[in-house]
Chain A
Amino acid sequence: MLHVARWRVLAVIIVSLLGLIFALPNALPQSVRDSMPSFLPSKTVNLGLDLQGGSYLMFEVESQVVYKARLEAVADDLSRELRGQKRPGELGASKTPILFAGRGLTPDGQVARVTIQNPADIPEAIKRIETLASPVIGLTGPTGRTDLDVKAAPGNVVEIRLTDEAKVAMTRRAVSQSIEVIRRRIDETGTKEPAITRQGVDRIVVQAPGESDPEKLKRLVGQTARLTFQMVDETVSPSEAAAGRIPPGSILLEQPGRSEEPMVLVRRRALVTGDNLTKADPGFDQQSGEPAVTFQFDGAGARAFARASTDNVGKRFAIVLDDKVLSAPSIREPILGGSGQISGSFTIESANELATLLRAGALPAPLKVMEQRTVGPELGRDSINAGATAGIIAMLLIVVFMILAYGLVFGGIAILALTVNLILILAAMTMVGATLTLPGIAGLILTIGAAVDANVLIYERMREEELAGRSTALAIDAGFKRAIVTVMDANVTALLTALILFYFGAGPVRGFAWTLSIGVITSLFTAILMTQVLVAAWYRQTKPKRLPI
């Protein structure tokens, strides 16, 4: 009768002690934690950005741009195939040319189209275009599929689309490359470690804790930083170009910060791109003394630039960053050394930023900010304090209430179980690396209210059993056995909703789900096991004739 297995007693003691050890670092100041022996855990609970302050940025990789680039390349190459020209290094006789016209991309950039003059040539044209396709590499290796879907369409047109597999693979690659680039950029600045994670198919989340300037972070992370060197098209006058007379193969680009020449007409083809840079550093223009960025090309880049500058002495070229002209200097003499300088309207800070971006490399596709949440560190600290005050008030109210309701012994046991429960929640969250957020604190406080429910159910049942005429010991025993079924049923539903919240919730709400679900599990332990052990111990000590409730 009222025998509690020894393992239960041991389990309660061991789990409570472990909980205390793991939860303790949270209550200690940093200096004490640092001086603790290394075998003791010193990890503290992760605080969400809403509590420690910081920025959360979610970007979407605009994979459409990557798809479009691939189709543009195909549209360029297909003329060679249709004309029957040989590829560089290809052996054998040239094929018969197929006449075509109207080659290009649809306005959305997702379909390449070419019109074949003679309908009889269409099957052969499709066959030749298909040779341009490349195999799709999936996560586990080659998929056995190619990236192009070439089909005949009405009006002697052949349409080329990317296959779904190719799109998936290209997006995945673009996201991985972007994460690499972002990591390099952030490492370059040496700021406090932000977390960069992939989310879903085409999204990247950057979380920077602490004091942070979200605008700077966005410039650093979100800028594509595609640097190109392009010739300025001087065949038409600026006013003609502005009026819309743009020669094929050229494009009119903005030149911000230069009121005397707001737009520059440049050739589309890039002489050299930022991929060919080996070095980029902030510096100063030797003549004007203004901030500038100096750079060094790699071997291939230096050769290409030397050739282009030798052929075009006296003409102008443009240094273009993300489709905006930084500067458009004249080539006074061939530039052979492979190094140069970008001057534009820079400040020291912006020259520094550009050098960082160039060193880290360009993003494969532009990133678009989908969501931004920034919380100042002071606001975070206020939230923590408010949360702590709320917790203390709730705890005090419940302590008073439980002692009034159930007396010192049973009320005390419930409060002890509740306290251990809170310690266990904190310990579990620290151990598994869960994040505590402001809604999470709310969840914790709500758990204070809900966790005593199990004790209440058990006590009420004991009371009933005693009123039904059982002896004290039998009433306690029966009270536990009967109430546990109810406690379990009641808690499973709570756990179910908490888990759903965990799965669907984002950010702070997920923190709420963490505390709620951990709280349900730990409260089962403290309410059932711990309360039972304590009540049994009390019974053996005092041998009461009646329950004091």
Chain B
Amino acid sequence: MKWPFIKLIPKNTKFRFVRFSIPAAIVSVVLCIASLVSCFTLGLNFGIDFKGGTVVEAVWDKPINLAQVRERVGNMNLRDVGVQDFQEPNQAMIRFLPPEGADASATVDAVKAELRAIMPGVKFPRVEVVGPKVSEELGTNGALALGIAIILVVLYIWTRFELQMGFGSIVALAHDIILTLGFMSITQLDFSLTTIAALLTIIGYSMNDTVVVFDRMRENMRKYKKMSLGDIIDLSTNETLSRTIITALTTFLALLGLTVVGGETMQVFTVIMLFGVFIGTYSSIYVAAPVLILWPPKRGAEKAAARTEADARP
């Protein structure tokens, strides 16, 4: 009987993951450097949440003449004006920065009045104005949130596992975040508050994956005291492999559902999450674990063993 198809996945896979860790490490390092280079040269496409400014979405009952809008709004003495079509020809998205020192909120009202003058009955389903002070704070808070999340997660792993594993997980996290930022920089996706949420979710997901592998390693290190660390890593990764694949698949399926949700921010969220699930899965196998070969955790630490024993009993 081949159904349920979980039986199709061979239970005792013996992939030699560790053997490929050196080429994988080279690939990871190269990708990280490329990401950093891209972040510093191309830069990230910060949205108004972090840059400040105004976005107005306009919907009219007729197709919108973008050139006319561009001309009229362009003559209003605003900075960085951008006019794009948006989903449909009767929709447009207008972005700008108010003149230096002007009240952003009053400026957007003036722009709306101007648009009403050329398109009577135009509607504005979305208007967002973020002042420079607020965007600065949102930026600081976002960076702070990412920093604190990384520190807390690593502290947790350190206390539950070993210092070396905490180190392995921080390298994996840094790897995931750098690659995701690099991805955002190359694709020039809009970097908004929702992106921070996506990054934090990727941290959570990647750690979840790493913890499952580490958890199995801890157990196997106790079980097979003589086995080499490389073999332990291979064994643990293989044992948790079907779970890793299935969870990645279910998360992927859920995200697939999300792709139907419209709106630029949600689309960006979904794309980043899809990327993050892939990277997070990869980094648990090829970043977090191989780091332990460079800096091996103490084997047979009696305290850790006793603690795990106690945890296993409900």
Contacts and interface: CB of A to CB of B under 8 A. Distances in A.
B239 to A, nearest CB: 7
A94 B266 CA distance: 74
A494 B208 contact: yes
A450 interface: yes
A545 B160 CA distance: 37
B133 to A, nearest CB: 6
B144 A504 contact: yes
A58 B254 contact: no
Interface string B133-152: 11000100110110011001
B194 interface: yes
B207 interface: yes
B126 A370 contact: no
B187 interface: no
Contact of A497 (B112, B204, B242): B204
B258 A394 contact: yes
Interface residues of A, number: 86
Nearest to B7: A549
Q: For chain A, what secondary structure do more than half of its interface residues adopt (helix, strand, loop), or is it mixed?
A: helix
B61 to A, nearest CB: 13
Given A379-B125, A386-B261, A439-B269, A372 B256 contact: no
Nearest to A218: B105
Interface string A433-464: 00000110111011011101100110110011
B243 A390 contact: no
Which residue, B200, B249, B254, has most C-beta atoms of chain A within 10 A?
B254
A486 B253 contact: no
B285 interface: no
Contact of A453 (B129, B197, B247): B247
A448 B254 contact: yes
Interface in B290-314: 308, 311-314
B46 interface: no
B253 A401 contact: yes
A505 B193 contact: yes
A442 B266 contact: yes
B85 interface: no
B239 A494 contact: no
Which residue, A397, A463, A484, A500, has most C-beta atoms of chain B within 10 A?
A500
A484 B314 contact: yes
A215 interface: yes
Interface residues of B, number: 83
A450 B156 CA distance: 20
Contact of B253 (A368, A398, A496, A509): A398
Interface string A487-512: 00111111011101101111111001
Nearest to A403: B4
Contacts, number: 250
A374 interface: yes
A376 B124 contact: yes
B197 A439 contact: yes
B255 interface: yes
B249 A500 contact: no
A467 interface: yes
A489 B160 contact: yes
B101 interface: no
Contacts of B212: 457, 486, 490
A370 B203 CA distance: 31
B169 to A, nearest CB: 9
B251 interface: yes
A109 interface: no
A460 B6 CA distance: 9
A404 B5 contact: yes
Interface in A376-411: 376, 378-379, 382-383, 386-387, 389-395, 397-398, 401-407, 410-411
Interface string A501-531: 1011111110011001000000000000000
Nearest to B208: A490
B145 A500 contact: yes
Contacts of A307: none
Contacts of A486: 211-212, 215-216
Contact of B252 (A218, A368, A374, A449): A449
Contact of B200 (A467, A500, A548): A500
Interface string A349-386: 00000000000000000001111111110110011001
Contact of A506 (B160, B193, B240): B193
Contacts of B196: 501, 505, 509
B127 interface: yes
B134 A58 contact: yes
Nearest to A375: B126
A394 B254 contact: yes
B149 A496 contact: yes
Given A369-B105, A375-B126, A404-B5, A449 B255 contact: yes
Interface in B179-213: 193-194, 196-197, 200-201, 203-205, 207-208, 211-212
Given A493-B208, A549-B6, A512 B103 contact: no
Contacts of B72: none
A391 B242 contact: no
A136 to B, nearest CB: 27
Nearest to B262: A386
Which residue, B153, B203, B258, has most C-beta atoms of chain A within 10 A?
B258
B162 interface: no
A482 interface: yes
B256 A373 contact: no
Contacts of A398: 250, 253-254
Contacts of B141: 504, 506
B258 A370 contact: no
A438 B197 CA distance: 12
29 contacts: A215-B109, A368-B131, A376-B126, A383-B261, A394-B254, A394-B257, A401-B253, A405-B6, A410-B4, A438-B263, A438-B265, A445-B257, A446-B258, A449-B247, A450-B208, A452-B247, A452-B250, A453-B243, A460-B240, A481-B312, A484-B314, A486-B216, A489-B211, A493-B211, A494-B207, A500-B200, A505-B196, A548-B4, A549-B7
Q: Which 9 residue pairs spanning A and B have beta carbons closest together? A: A394-B257, A449-B254, A369-B105, A376-B125, A504-B145, A393-B257, A449-B251, A407-B4, A493-B207
Given A489-B211, A497-B149, 16 more contacts: A222-B105, A372-B127, A374-B128, A375-B126, A383-B261, A390-B260, A394-B257, A398-B254, A442-B266, A449-B250, A456-B247, A463-B6, A485-B311, A493-B204, A493-B211, A505-B196
